[in-house]
Amino acid sequence: MGANTSQVSDLSESQSIRTLIGPDAISENEPFWNQLISFTFSSPNSSADAKLLEEAVVPLAKTLIQNNPRSGNFGALVRVFLSRTKELKISTECQDQLFIWQAHNALFLVRCLLKVFIREMNAEELRLQFSYQERVPGTYDSGCEDLLEELVCNLVHLIVEVPLLDITYNILFEAVTTLLILLSYQLFHKEILREGLIYGYLTRGRCLSLTSRLVKTLLYNFIRQENYPPAAQVFQTQSDGGGLLYGLASGVASGLWSVFTLGGVGSRPEQEQNPLPLSNQSLLLLLILANLTDGPDCPNPYRQAITCFKNTQDSSSFPSPQPHSFQINFNSLYTALCEQQKSDQVTLLLYTLLHQNSNMRTYILSRTDMENLVLPILEILYHVEERNSHHVYMALIILLILTEDDTFNRSIHEVTLKNISWYTERVLTEISLGSLLILVVIRTIQFNMTRTRDKYLHTNCLAALANMSAQFRNLHQYAAQRIISLFALLSKKHNKVLEQATQSLRGPLGADDGTVQPDYAQDLNVIEEVIRMMLEIINSCLSNSLHHNPNLLYALLYKRELFEQFRSHPSFQDIMQNLDTVIGFFSQRLEQAGSDLSVERVQEVIKKGAVALPKDRLKFPELKFKYVEEEQPEDFFIPYVWSLVFNSGVGLYWNSQGIELFSMDSP
């Protein structure tokens, strides 16, 4: 690069770059390094441009790989960067923009080269690239120095020590991104990597003592949601004029800051530029670290930190007996989670905190403004056809975890919402959060029945409804209708599958022509499981909160003929008893009230009857389902998190060829 380079196309022509990748060694004390890292570079601001940068760097990096064993220039470049990191904190306090800018440029070069190295070689070969150095008088030979570990530890130190200001934003972003790159070996392996050099440095080496500070800093980077600063704010003119070098720094600022508008994968559609690159990248790194597998003799320290951190408002004794514990402002974290819930990675963070951190789960469930968190989750599910399956699963599991709490199930029916703009099936001028939740979950079930037919999706949807059912309160008329209409849809599907199963058994004897016949018996079994679950949900509501749900009773009585066919069915006889009792009791009272009753009169009879029906006539155990993570969850989460890095990493592009961890149609 060097001071005159400004475009991707100039890279291969740059004399400084050619010298760096050439066969001749360059001493760390040479003025060359100052020239190399004092560049202005119009960085890409789209996926296509990011791809161009990657393609320009690859041949240069391959040349360096060939020459580096002789020249040691890559190690020299790393040491030049490391020598500057030692003074970064002081430079920040002194507002020394030029020093910070050069350190950023050095790290940017290291990161671009590392990305190619990692694709071209294994971890041991990578460590060798760090170890090569020219053996000439005056060259410092540290003997047993592990320069790769030194780089990893320095990056962690940089992230936790250097404060986030306008002048440090870009170098902090580069440090986070470089750690992501160093961990990206996983992308090129189908099997889950359970150990490795970088893994060891971060979980057992010198970085271990910084675990809690790194997790806390990454969380705060996410919480702060800082935009990348405009160039004019970064390099402000000093009152004394600033001098020649200061003027040079000011002149290149506009090129530097566009680093943060880089796009991502060429195979994905062009997206809006990410205005929060440090927040996004920090969250991705946090999720990667939290999902590293446990070692044979040591649990993942980053998961431990995620599991046990506490609220800064928590007055209980501290420090915690758990390793890597720390405190963070839960209110700020909750607000950020509510505001940013549209992305996969924020939904995954919310899932991780709810599932693994009991302190955060208790805090979230104690909030009196739960609608701020639940509404974005419901909107994700409402637009299920636009979301990838993993995002939908995470949203559903979050609801399932929330519905394990009875207080949540009661309180959501006390929150009144008005004019939900994204719900377009019907105008909902006023509805409770609980009724809206029921509507969205039922819609998800119906979508799944007609499109994906995913049993896992059904199970989680029905489990959430079942957990809520005993606390259903004053259901909106439309929500009550949708519960019964879902049962009607299931009944119709049951009859159709039953007919197909019967016909397949009567099929012609010579039909064995090698074609695979649908497994109607299995389909019938699945649909009957879902029907039984729906009957249990209705039963649970009627048994525990009959007098609170006149609209559900009205819908049930209006469509009571739906339930006739299941009364004598051996799979449903036991569960139909309560429904028969309710239908029989209210049908009798309606007959006694006369014929041609108005809707209002029917509702009046139902309300009075709900009070009159002896409670001991309806007995049904309360339904409770608890989310349990499957064995070896890493088989799901590690490919998922890396697919998010692949698709959402700011300024990162990987050629899809060679990606082994997930198929390219993954989320």
- Measure CA of the first residue to CA of the last residue in the chain; give whole Å: 36
Average pLDDT over residues 527-532: 89
Determine the pLDDT at residue 540: 92
Q: For 288-341, what is each residue's pLDDT tens digit?
A: 999 999 877 789 999 999 999 999 987 765 556 678 889 999 999 999 999 998
The beta-carbon contacts of 206-209 under 8 Å, at least 24 apart in sequence, are 206/149, 206/153, 207/152, 207/153, 207/156, 208/301
| Residue 54 identity (one-letter amino acid) | E
DSSP codes, 86-136:
TTHHHHHHTT-HHHHHHHHHHHHHHHHHHHHHHHHS-HHHHHHHHH-----
| Residue 170 identity (one-letter amino acid) | N
228 compared with 1, residue with greater pLDDT = 228
* 512 has a pLDDT exceeding 60: no
**Token digits of residue 82:** 């490391």
Q: For 4-44, what is each residue's pLDDT tens digit?
A: 445 666 676 788 899 999 999 999 889 999 989 987 665 55
Cβ burial of 427 (10 Å; 0-12, 13-18, 19+) is exposed
The C-alpha torsion from 128 through 129 and 130 to 132, rounded to 10°, is: 80
* 266 has a pLDDT exceeding 50: no
Peptide bond into 550 cis (omega under 30): no
Determine the pLDDT at residue 237: 34
Q: For 604-645, what is each residue's pLDDT tens digit?
A: 998 888 888 887 778 788 889 999 988 889 999 999 999 999
**Token digits of residue 134:** 């020219």
Q: For 438-494, what is each residue's pLDDT tens digit?
A: 999 999 999 888 776 777 888 899 999 999 999 999 999 999 999 999 999 999 988
